[in-house]
Amino acid sequence: MHILGCGSALPTLKHNASSQIVEIRGKLFMIDCGEGTQIALRRSHIAFARLSTVFLSHLHGDHCLGMIGMISTFGLLGRTQPLRIFAPAEFEPMLRSQLEMFCHNLEYEVEFHAVDTTKQTVIYEDKSLTVETIPLEHRVPCCGYLFREKPSLPHIRREMIDFYQIPVSQINNIKNGADWTTSDGEIIANSRLVRPAEPPRSYAYCSDTRYMPTLHEIVKNVNVLYHESTYANDQLHNAEKYFHTTAEQAAMVARDAQVGQLFLGHYSARYENEEILLDEARKIFAESHLSDEKMVIDVK
Amino acid sequence: MHILGCGSALPTLKHNASSQIVEIRGKLFMIDCGEGTQIALRRSHIAFARLSTVFLSHLHGDHCLGMIGMISTFGLLGRTQPLRIFAPAEFEPMLRSQLEMFCHNLEYEVEFHAVDTTKQTVIYEDKSLTVETIPLEHRVPCCGYLFREKPSLPHIRREMIDFYQIPVSQINNIKNGADWTTSDGEIIANSRLVRPAEPPRSYAYCSDTRYMPTLHEIVKNVNVLYHESTYANDQLHNAEKYFHTTAEQAAMVARDAQVGQLFLGHYSARYENEEILLDEARKIFAESHLSDEKMVIDVK
């Protein structure tokens, strides 16, 4: 998970507008795309030709104004494979008129998929993962995204394969659970031939939202939770007024969901130093961390 | 004149998309506003509350995609005075729908003024200056902008005022050309009481355009000419194909117009080092210079 931007509505010289890349088994997915994301992407040296899909949480400028510039740049760089965009339905007419004005010679397709932000649904699936919406409560329709890796096949125990002289042609069968019968008729149980794969991983992105006391049910046990923490406790009234979350509240979600790690982000521009957010979060949930631009988080 | 961005369509880590600030007698005017301009503006430490007017040359993304984010940010920062935008007419419906989607609680007015890019006309005037359109030839309707300072009042010769004991109440009359009659009836000619003001200055912005052999007639004798120079001579075919200019051609305009200084910009991303552009320009026009981000050019 690559953090491209973890600031909030007011851009600063320290934090970019919201954007992240989720990288899994060689595939790239983007979540949110604020102004300047294409520059942050370039700075990150991520091989962005592999970016297939963008998920937008909601239609506030700091989460989506970078889309059209990025689409245009991909076109100039010769992209040919389609780019999928998942976003609230109201984004499509805006996107189409921008495409017409700024990208009329695009040589790849921009596929738009409207997202119902009010329901928890699987909206994307491939061989490696599923992506579900997480209904959030913000001033406009908004959802988070929950990435769940599919189970991997187990690892072959090379020494057992060699010992029983099992031919390469059988490896896939064994990975898929087959036992092995030797020429003597002895049956070698599959469990002796493989080591279990790492358990599948999960990552939840929740921004922007007010504190949702039941959110932990949806993000239960995820390995990593990114949860907006626009404010510290001193600004609780603003969190309530603007439908944002304090770091402490984000930590309460993480604690109640028993996640592996919590990453805070979407910081208000008022904090010169976000340590105050971290301190308040860690009092509730020890495995709290600050996001920062250029940070690469290994989800496990 | 503050350079905020002098790159071209493909953003790089070196150059921002097009944007400049013209600062004159305490007023700020912006020309073009590519993606990320609000960040460059913030980085420049220019007191942007004084920005009253934005002039957009044409509707390619690298010249206008930063508008909506900047408008939104000004709103968040509490702006109340109107912001004028001069741009080709087709920009207005796009801008209005973006304002509705991303800035519905704006507490200041965004005044749109459609610009006819095909005619050289004065489109803006105040006490200090006029701004004229410069018709350019690009793939979409496009114009440059010519800033002409109005003449300043002459400087008072303090020693003469003291000598003749001229009261403060008369200073403005004298600045505006009045002679002075002493109590003895002697007439002191105005020319002995004042020193002429500095001659009014002028600045022309020409981007994007193909080489226009008659452009020099419009930008005749300006103090500073900013002219796009997307390519060096090795890419003359691309300059012709995409309606851009080579550095040499930009220098030909500068030479034929007998301008004071030429600043090159809108560099193609292919040039790691723009010295090749400068070298080619200087062979034609010695007072050629490279623009660069954060550069502040004193027009005189």
**Whether pLDDT at B105 is above 90:** no
Is A162 found in the same domain as A147?
Answer: no
> Does residue A92 share a domain with residue A144?
yes
3-state secondary structure (DSSP) of residue B21? strand
The most distant pair of C-alpha atoms in chain B lies apart, rounded to whole Å, by 76
**How many separate domains does chain A show?**
2
What pLDDT does residue B104 have?
83
Test A38 with B94 for CB contact under 8 angstroms: no
Give me the mean pLDDT over the B169-190 stretch: 93
Q: Are the Cβ atoms of A102 and B12 closer than 8 angstroms?
A: no
Q: Give contacts of B76 with chain A, Cβ < 8 Å.
A: 9-10
CA-angle at B160, arms to B155 and B164, nearest 5°: 135
Range(s) of the domain holding residue A163: 155-195
pLDDT digits (tens, 9 = 90+) for A137-181: 999 999 999 999 999 999 999 999 999 999 999 999 999 999 999
Q: Which two tokens stand for residue A194?
A: 């493989």
Say whether B279 is catalytic.
no
Residues B285 and B139 in one domain: yes
What integer pLDDT is reported at residue B124 of this predicted model? 98
Same-domain status, A183 and A202: no
Q: What is the dihedral of CA A230, A236, A240, A245, to 10 degrees?
A: 30
At residue A57, does pLDDT exceed 90? yes
pLDDT band, very low/low/confident/very high, at A188 (cuts 50, 70, 90): very high
DSSP H helices in chain A: 37-44, 61-64, 67-76, 91-102, 158-163, 171-175, 190-193, 215-218, 236-242, 247-257, 275-282
A165 and A23 in a single domain? The answer is no
Q: How many CA atoms lie within 13 A of B55 on its CB side?
A: 29
Tell me whether residue A172 is in a domain: yes
Q: Which residues of A touch B61 (CB under 8 A)?
A: 68-69, 72, 102-103
CATH number at residue B128: 3.60.15.10
Tens digits of residue pLDDT in B44-71: 999 999 999 999 999 999 999 999 999 9
Please check whether residues B229 and B190 belong to one and the same domain. Answer: no
Residue B299 lies in a domain: no
Q: Where does the pLDDT of residue A104 fall: very low under 50, low under 70, confident under 90, or very high at 90 and above?
A: confident
Domain boundary residue among A163, A195, A227? A195
Tell me, yes or no, whether A209 lies in a domain: yes
| B42 shares contact with chain A (CB less than 8 Å) | yes
**Averaged pLDDT for residues B182-207:** 95
Residues above pLDDT 90, as percent of chain A: 98
A137 and A159 share a domain? Answer: no
Does some domain include residue B300? no
**CB pair distance less than 8 Å for A38 and B35:** yes
Closest CA to A88 of A66, A118, A108: A118
- For B:95-154, CB contacts with A below 8 A are 97-98, 101-103
Tokens of B17: 């998309």
Same domain for A212 and A135: yes
Query: Is there a domain that residue B214 lies in?
Result: yes
In a domain, B295, yes or no: no
User: Which site among B35, B92, B103 would you substitute to test the A interface, given the most A Cβ atoms closer than 10 Å to its Cβ?
Assistant: B35
Answer yes or no: do B73 and A11 touch at CB < 8 A.
yes
Residues B38 and A66: beta-carbon distance below 8 Å: no
Question: What per-residue confidence (pLDDT) applies to B112?
Answer: 98
One domain, residues A48 and A170: no
B190 falls within a domain: yes
Taking CB atoms and an 8 Å limit, are A13 and B69 in contact across chains? no
If asked whether residues A90 and A238 sit together in one domain, one would say yes
Residues A73 and A190 in one domain: no
| Separation CA A281–CA A265 (nearest Å) | 12
The answer to whether B200 contacts chain A (CB < 8 Å) is: no
Residue B191 and residue B215 in one domain? no
Which one of B35, B42, B102 has the shortest CB-CB distance to A69?
Answer: B35
* A-chain residues near B60 (CB < 8 A): 102
Residue B296 lies in a domain: no
pLDDT at B187 over 90: yes
Residue pair B117/B133 in contact (Cβ under 8 Å)? The answer is yes
ipTM: 0.91
Nearest residue of chain B to residue A90 (CA atoms): B101
